[in-house]
Amino acid sequence: MTAAIIAWVNFAVLVVSALLFLLFYARSARPAALEREIGEVAYHRCARYRSIAAALIFIASANYVVYYFFPLPVGLPRMFPWPWWVSAVAAALIALPSGYLWYRGVRDAGEETMVPKKEHTLYGGVYEKIRHPQAAGELVIWWVMALFLHSPFLALFSFVWVPIFYAVCLVEERDLHIRYGEAYEAYRQRTGFFFPKPGGVR
């Protein structure tokens, strides 16, 4: 298999993985809506969807690494015009806050990060400031990888994840409204989506 074929196959897998992630994570984020159709088994099914979505993220991450060795012949420079260490420093500088934000989101959400549970209450901690810390942190990590791999193409492709993560967060919010009703609407009013709302935390 020639390098060009490997590059195009890798890119196709990356695109398909991103789209399937959108599909499966969106399905995993609506257990309350699904419960209306199939009962409480919906939460178990959504946990399976969440696991599939996590596997797809891993595949997409691997595609980024493969792209470094097999870039597409599309006319873009293979690497940024500055030395690699500049990209590495920039990547580290944005990885620290975004990684910490993602970690705090996982820690404060607890088990429900991967396993939706009907009895779970609204989260505390960092969720008292923003509603989607995990998504906000994870979204930025794609640019961290692109910078560490010193790839202009991957930096541009990473913008694809913005509407994907935004869409799954909207799906999740609709389902949380079903689960928590007016309490969730009050929570939305005092918190930001990806960034803290000025004067919104009490």
Query: What pTM was computed for the model?
Result: 0.90
- pLDDT computed for residue 111 by the predictor: 82
Tally helices (H) and strands (E) across the chain: 8, 0
Residues 6+ away with beta carbon under 8 Å from 67: 7, 10, 11, 14, 149, 151, 153, 154
Question: Where does the pLDDT of residue 113 fall: very low under 50, low under 70, confident under 90, or very high at 90 and above?
Answer: confident
67 CB neighbour count, 10 Å cutoff: 22
Rg over CA atoms, the chain? 19
Structural domains of the chain, with CATH: 3-190 (1.20.120)
Question: Where does the pLDDT of residue 199 fall: very low under 50, low under 70, confident under 90, or very high at 90 and above?
Answer: low
Q: What is the pLDDT of residues 84-104, one digit of tens each?
A: 999 999 999 999 999 999 999
